[in-house]
Amino acid sequence: MLSRRTLLAAALVLGATPALAQSPAPAAKLPVVASFSILGDFVKNVGGDRIALSTIVGPNADTHVYQPTPNDAKKLAGAKVIFVNGLGFEGWMDRLVKASGTKATVVVATKGITPRERSKDEPQDDDDHGPKGKKADAGHDHGPIDPHAWQSVANAKVYVANVRDGLIAADPAGKDTYTANAAAYLAKLDQLESEVKAAMASIPEANRRIITSHDAFGYFGDAYGLKLLAPEGVSTESEASAKDVGKIIRQIKEQHIPAVFLENVTNPRLIERLGKESGAIVGGTLYSDALSRDNGPASTYIDLVRYNIRQLSGALTK
């Protein structure tokens, strides 16, 4: 019969086995910055305990209209890697990087993704206006390119791969950890995509048409067969003209669009007006450009997608 000492030794060996696949612990954590909360969640999942992560635009905050602070420049100055979305999403980032004097590597998380271009029928951002009716900073104009690529789970996998490669380049000693973390997270995204496809398949095809505040869900619509209209274009700084609003109300009525949706980063008044004047139901709030706070329903990317598909399914299967 084995002694207690032998059993204890065996247990210690078995308990230590998983750690053998991990990279050696770094002397100090790698300081990294992510531009906004959704990207920060990707970085957190891949970087794990090897990184010290700072996120510039936090939960429920709007990256389109964000005004950087001196503390943001300080974060960049101390970073080794800066992760950005690209595709014109962070119109203020180039200026902030320059002002900070950082020597960090800037990794564009959308590298390798085919950008979605808005159709001619979608509202344009060329004459964006800020909340006080002033001309918006040209840096916020996305032109014809839609920057919200993370709304497709397939694209989210590209983000994760780019994050992994960026961390490995900055911290080669952590390669095994970053590779293992990315693989585990990508497996979760595979499962998530299956859930999205199943949820969308359960919605009658005639009901797969909605209105959202701004054009943040185009990649989702293209990937999963949902037709979207958005009065405010791809930037939340855009303002729909009276002509645009009237046109959309007519479209809702003529095409029998069943639901309009609010967003967590936009003013709800326009969508509420569209619902009231068109007769469409207000289907709830979708999370578009930012996560919720930790105690909210969308505090991670996976929770965000699951919450959104529950909102869509609940409104469109009635």
Token reading at 313? 């399914």
How many domains in the chain?
A: 2
Q: Do the domain assignments include residue 21? A: no
The per-residue pLDDT for range 15-45, each reduced to its tens digit, is 443 333 467 777 799 999 999 999 999 999 9
Q: What is the pLDDT of residue 231?
A: 65
Please indicate, yes or no, if residue 164 is contained in any of the structural domains: yes
In this structure, what are the phi and psi dihedrals at residue 56, rounded to the nearest 5 degrees? -80, -60
Contact in structure between 95 and 139 (CB atoms under 8 Å): yes
- Last residue in a domain, options 134, 157, 188: 188
Residue 234 shares a structural domain with residue 165: no
Q: Tell me what pLDDT residue 178 has.
A: 99
Q: Are residues 218 and 173 in the same domain?
A: no
Domain of residue 143, CATH code: 3.40.50.1980
- Let me know: does 128 contact 156? Beta carbons within 8 Å: no
pLDDT reported for residue 213: 76
| Residue 47 is assigned to a structural domain of this protein | yes
Asked whether 234 and 125 are in contact (CB, 8 A), the reply is: yes
**pLDDT computed for residue 253 by the predictor:** 86
Check residue 241 and give its pLDDT: 75
Question: What is the extent of the structural domain holding 180?
Answer: 27-188
Low-confidence stretches of the chain (pLDDT < 50) are 1-21, 123-141, 234
Q: Are residues 113 and 224 in the same domain?
A: no
Q: Domain ends where: 188, 213, 243?
A: 188
Claim to verify: residue 103 and residue 235 sit in the same structural domain: no
| Final residue of a structural domain among 188, 212, 242 | 188
On whether both 85 and 162 belong to a single domain, the answer is yes
Residue 195 lies in a domain: no
- Judge if 172 and 254 occupy the same domain: no
Quick one: 305 and 182 in the same domain? no
Q: What's the whole-model pTM score? A: 0.83
239 and 110 part of one domain: no
